[in-house]
A and B are shown apart, each in its own frame.
Chain A
Amino acid sequence: DAKTTQPPSMDCAEGRAANLPCNHSTISGNEYVYWYRQIHSQGPQYIIHGLKNNETNEMASLIITEDRKSSTLILPHATLRDTAVYYCIVTETSYDKVIFGPGTSLSVIP
């Protein structure tokens, strides 16, 4: 079973920030939070990952709560091309079996 829970779907207006939540209340100290997204008919694409500090790259920002039991992926200015299923995954760096949950289907609306 996946170690994370995410809302099944969300909408976001084009140009606005998309905030995608993820709960991982059983996360252990050496587990990282990874985010991937899957655009229709494509393979998943890595977005960002973090351990306990907030992270930012050219695609998104990752905010992890102090207790590390939840996190939020932020797409600062959503575009129509950001419409995809977003997966939040918790895994150790040496963990072999990577479990993807059902993810959040994000629809960016014009």
Chain B
Amino acid sequence: GAGVSQSPSNKVTEKGKDVELRCDPISGHTALYWYRQSLGQGLEFLIYFQGNSAPDKSGLPSDRFSAERTGGSVSTLTIQRTQQEDSAVYLCASSPVLVSAKNIQYFGAGTRLSVL
């Protein structure tokens, strides 16, 4: 695809349910990032992948949050037992090379998660 694709674009769920958010990065991009943006707030870094590995998971807010990436491409962010404070826009970005002067991140449009 031409850009980073995220699905679903909107997700409404009930408190306590699990949700899975998907990110399709730009083909060939080795680095992939997840961010969370609450209403009216800046971006909160969650996790990044270099290939299939995630060197730093310290940004994940709690152990209810997990992420994986398979085949160096698609990534899923899973939130278990969702809480109302998880409501936010979840943004994914990919970058062609992590160690480079051009570590430019290309963002998707995000998934708006609403926990009722």
Contact = CB atoms under 8 A, between A and B. Distances in A.
Given A42-B109, A43-B110, A94-B98, A100 B35 contact: yes
A103 B56 contact: no
A99 B91 contact: no
Given A93-B100, A100-B45, A43 B33 contact: no
B70 interface: no
Contacts, number: 58
Interface residues of A, number: 22
Contact of B42 (A32, A46, A94, A101): A101
Given A93-B103, A94-B99, A96-B56, A43 B91 contact: yes
Nearest to B42: A102
Interface of A is mostly: loop
Interface string A2-42: 00000000000000000000000000000010101000001
A96 B48 contact: yes
Interface of B is mostly: loop
A70 to B, nearest CB: 20
Nearest to A99: B45
Interface residues of B, number: 29
Contacts of B58: 97
B104 A46 contact: yes
B55 A46 contact: no
18 contacts: A32-B101, A42-B109, A43-B91, A43-B109, A44-B43, A44-B91, A44-B93, A46-B105, A46-B106, A87-B42, A93-B98, A94-B98, A96-B48, A97-B45, A97-B56, A97-B59, A100-B42, A102-B42
Interface of A: 32, 34, 36, 42-46, 49, 51, 87, 91, 93-94, 96-103
